[in-house]
């Protein structure tokens, strides 16, 4: 009885004689220091202490997390085990929230796992172990065939370039053979693949690779796409050629100090579950890494994410250790509901703490959905704009109907509304925006 009293009661639903009451043994687990050979999963037990059955309707899995359950129906006086595995790709501290939705409540149970990865293996499977048996080593990777086809003639395109992007960076560059094909063994994970050929344009898609996924991916090239038309509309800054003096150790090729003022940039990233779909997070990571490479040691950068909570994943700092910041960007994951207004408050706080008297103070909101602000929130944006903190908004593969709210924020924030729908745009958009905003008059 004493043990039962320690269980956390998370929901009580009552309707006449029917009662569904769920309790769980714990809601958080800290793995501590984790090495390669250590177990990286934990079991949470959820018990139905009520009189009606409850269904697990949805589990939101942040990137790097895999979840298995013994059953999705929790009968009265019965328990289920929710097994959660997190596979770190980088050394260092990690934390992940996993919302679990049930049929008996209108908000999720949120389980939290955290730890410190002492080692990391990019070839380790993300897949959570089964309850009955362990996966064989050969089940951790999947062989895929990528075909590139001329959309007009339906003939294969030889020597087409296939770029496989993983966590925002190009992982593999392949060429198709005479049959228009290329083969690759990939670790089971999420990828973003771009196929292109001279005279045929390009095509791209997000791909989840696992044992049950399609083993053949086909790209049709040869007709202009909506993405290509949009790319042509992106403004490009043309600047005079700058020959750096030998003593100039600050300028980058993209941003010479003689042309561009210092930057105080705060990224506000939508990390809700929808950003995991359609390769949105991969495109955003690619855009952020491209911008990072162009920034200088005199520029400051901070990263705030918002989903079920608001987290500062990179405290504002001068851009000196680009390798470390790249790893932080690659580790960004998506999962949870959206708390945009709270995230914007935190972004403003950081921007003001590091405000430049002369320079570019800019918050960049990156999202795929509507960013709703109350009347008070909008007044806050206007007030901060008058105090020198501007806001630009980046829509990542967002629907047309979401643009109105993004445009409103950008206008109130004296910034820009930008759009990323392709890998080419991802490589250009953010860097061009910072160059436009920091160009010396």
Q: pLDDT-derived band of residue 299, with 50, 70 and 90 as boundaries? A: very high
Report the alpha-carbon distance of residue 94 to residue 198 in Å, rounded.
42
State pTM to two decimals: 0.67
23 beta partners: 9, 47
DSSP state of 274: G
Beta strands in 232-359 (DSSP E): 263-270, 300-306, 310-318
Tell me the per-residue pLDDT of 372-385, one tens digit each, with 9 for 90 and over.
Answer: 677 888 899 999 99
Mean pLDDT of 58-64: 86
Tell me the per-residue pLDDT of 338-355, one tens digit each, with 9 for 90 and over.
Answer: 667 788 999 999 999 999
Instruction: State the distance between the two ends of the chain, measured CA to CA, in whole angstroms.
Output: 73
* Domain definitions of the chain by residue range: 2-120, 140-223, 228-438
CATH placement of domain 140-223: 2.60.40.1120
Higher-scoring residue by pLDDT: 199, 340? 199
What does the pLDDT read at residue 21? 66
- Does residue 386 carry a pLDDT above 80? yes
Higher-scoring residue by pLDDT: 210, 94? 94
What does the pLDDT read at residue 12? 33
Report the alpha-carbon distance of residue 218 to residue 21 in Å, rounded.
48
2-120 and 228-438 agree in CATH topology: no
Higher-scoring residue by pLDDT: 336, 255? 255
DSSP state of 245: -
> What residue spans of 161-297 are helical by DSSP H?
226-232, 280-294
User: DSSP readout, 98-148?
Assistant: EEEEETT-SS-EEEEEEEEES---TTS--PPPPSS-PPPGGGGEEEEEEEE
Helix or strand or coil: residue 96?
strand
Q: pLDDT-derived band of residue 364, with 50, 70 and 90 as boundaries? A: very high
- Does residue 56 carry a pLDDT above 70? yes
Q: pLDDT-derived band of residue 188, with 50, 70 and 90 as boundaries? A: confident
Tell me the per-residue pLDDT of 216-226, one tens digit each, with 9 for 90 and over.
Answer: 999 999 864 44
- Does residue 245 carry a pLDDT above 90? no
Which CATH superfamily does the domain covering 2-120 fall into?
Immunoglobulins (2.60.40.10)
Sequence length of the chain is 441
Higher-scoring residue by pLDDT: 300, 117? 300
- Does residue 122 carry a pLDDT above 80? no
What does the pLDDT read at residue 94? 85
- Does residue 241 carry a pLDDT above 70? no
Higher-scoring residue by pLDDT: 354, 337? 354
- Does residue 171 carry a pLDDT above 70? yes
Main-chain dihedrals φ then ψ at residue 173, nearest 5 degrees: -120, 120
What does the pLDDT read at residue 16? 32
Lowest mean pLDDT among 75-84, 200-209, 236-245, 292-301: 236-245
CATH placement of domain 228-438: 3.40.50.410
């Amino acid at each position: 009885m004493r043990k039962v009293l320690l269980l956390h009661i998370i929901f009580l639903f009552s309707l006449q004689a029917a009662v569904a009451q769920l309790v769980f043994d714990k809601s958080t687990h800290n793995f501590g220091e984790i090495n390669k050979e250590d177990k990286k999963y934990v079991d949470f037990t959820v018990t139905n202490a009520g009189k009606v059955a409850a269904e697990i309707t949805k589990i939101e899995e942040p990137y790097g997390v895999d979840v298995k359950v013994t059953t999705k129906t929790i009968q009265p006086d019965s328990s289920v085990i929710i097994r959660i595995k997190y596979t770190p790709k980088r050394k260092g501290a990690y934390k992940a929230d996993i919302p679990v939705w049930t049929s008996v409540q209108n908000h999720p149970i949120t389980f939290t796992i955290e730890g410190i990865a002492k080692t990391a293996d990019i070839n380790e499977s993300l897949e959570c172990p089964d309850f009955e048996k362990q996966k064989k080593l050969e089940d951790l990777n999947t062989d895929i065939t990528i075909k590139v086809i001329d959309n007009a003639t339906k003939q294969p395109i030889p020597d087409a370039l296939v770029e496989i992007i993983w966590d925002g960076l190009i992982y593999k560059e392949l060429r198709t053979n005479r049959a228009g094909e290329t083969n690759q063994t990939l670790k089971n994970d999420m990828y973003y693949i771009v196929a292109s050929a001279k005279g045929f344009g390009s095509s791209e898609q997000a791909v989840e690779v696992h044992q049950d996924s399609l083993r053949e991916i086909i790209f049709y090239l040869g007709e202009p796409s909506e993405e290509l038309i949009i790319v042509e509309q992106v403004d490009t800054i043309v600047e005079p050629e700058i020959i750096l003096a030998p003593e100039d150790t600050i300028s980058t090729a993209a941003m010479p100090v003689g042309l561009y003022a210092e930057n105080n940039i705060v990224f506000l990233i939508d990390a809700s579950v929808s950003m995991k779909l359609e390769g949105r997070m991969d495109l955003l990571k690619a855009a952020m890494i491209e911008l990072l490479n162009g920034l200088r040691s005199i520029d400051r950068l901070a990263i705030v994410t918002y989903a079920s909570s608001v987290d500062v994943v990179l405290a504002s700092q001068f851009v000196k250790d680009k390798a470390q910041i790249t790893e932080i960007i690659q580790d960004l994951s998506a999962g949870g509901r959206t708390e945009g207004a709270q995230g914007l408050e935190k972004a403003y706080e950081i921007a003001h703490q590091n405000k430049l008297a002369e320079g570019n103070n800019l918050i960049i909101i990156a999202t795929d959905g509507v960013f709703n602000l109350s009347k008070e929130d909008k007044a806050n944006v206007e007030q901060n704009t008058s105090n020198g903190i501007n806001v630009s908004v980046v829509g990542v593969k967002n629907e047309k109907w979401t643009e109105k709210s993004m445009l409103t924020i950008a206008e109130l924030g004296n910034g820009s509304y930008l759009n990323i729908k392709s890998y080419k745009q991802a490589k250009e958009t953010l860097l061009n925006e910072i160059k436009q905003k920091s160009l010396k008059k």
